[in-house]
């Protein structure tokens, strides 16, 4: 089922003013490897997800179950010198750029500083950072909490990333701390466990 509707979830979703899923989005099938973020990074979800037509940045994309404000997974494939998101204001609020010389321990700060500018986040706390294997190499997993600008909703997040051949591959999951994060974090971790770098060309967007 593309979009899960539960009475409790729907009620909370309405309170959070979630953005509705729009035409142009695509259904990602369960059990099939899918290339993401215009790269050879593939994941195999065990349930259907909705891929949003709007991209956070040039080489990134967002999947969600109920709406990106409720349970959004972002995939990034970032080359050196590029930002995670589209610039908000390159002149007055330039986004930090990824560098292939970064250490894995720099990646959490890259995401945090990007959120502070792109989302206007003033409240951001990194709660845990640990090394993990990812994409066949050393990676980093980190957890965080934050609030968006002009919003009174506490959100939790988890991300896993690695630098392979000078390119940053990053997956992140953000959701309100109430209900959605605890309910859907397992689905995100399942996709992380299937993440691979394939040698084939990425699947074309539908």
Q: Percent of the chain scored above 90 by pLDDT? A: 74
* pLDDT number for residue 91: 83
* pLDDT number for residue 23: 61
Q: Residues 127-159, buried b or exposed e (16+ Cβ, 10 A)? A: eeeeeeebbeeebbbbbbbbbbeeeeeebbbbb
pLDDT-derived band at 202 (thresholds 50, 70, 90) equals very low
Q: Is the pLDDT assigned to residue 162 strictly greater than 50?
A: yes
Q: Is the pLDDT assigned to residue 9 strictly greater than 50?
A: no
Identify the DSSP state of 182.
H
Identify the DSSP state of 85.
S
Q: Is the pLDDT assigned to residue 4 strictly greater than 70?
A: no
Please give the model's pTM, rounded to 2 decimal places.
Answer: 0.85
Q: Is the pLDDT assigned to residue 66 strictly greater than 50?
A: yes
């Amino acid at each position: 089922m593309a979009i899960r509707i539960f009475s409790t979830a729907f009620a909370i979703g309405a309170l959070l003013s979630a953005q509705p899923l729009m035409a142009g989005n695509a259904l990602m099938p369960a059990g099939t490897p899918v290339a993401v973020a215009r790269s050879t990074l593939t994941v195999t979800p065990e349930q259907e997800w909705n891929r949003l037509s709007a991209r956070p940045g040039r080489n990134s994309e967002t999947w969600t179950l109920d709406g990106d404000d409720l349970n959004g997974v972002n995939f990034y494939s970032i080359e050196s010198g590029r930002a995670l998101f589209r610039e908000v204001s390159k002149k007055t609020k330039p986004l930090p750029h990824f560098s292939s010389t970064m250490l894995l321990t720099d990646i959490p700060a890259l995401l945090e500083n990007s959120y502070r500018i792109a989302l206007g986040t003033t409240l951001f706390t990194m709660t845990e950072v640990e090394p993990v294997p990812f994409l066949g190499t050393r990676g980093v997993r980190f957890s965080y909490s934050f609030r968006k600008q002009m919003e009174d909703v506490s959100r939790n997040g988890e991300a896993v990333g690695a630098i392979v051949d000078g390119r940053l591959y990053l997956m992140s999951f953000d959701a309100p701390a109430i209900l959605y994060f605890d309910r859907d974090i397992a689905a995100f971790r399942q996709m992380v466990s299937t993440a691979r770098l394939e040698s084939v060309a990425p699947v074309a967007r539908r």
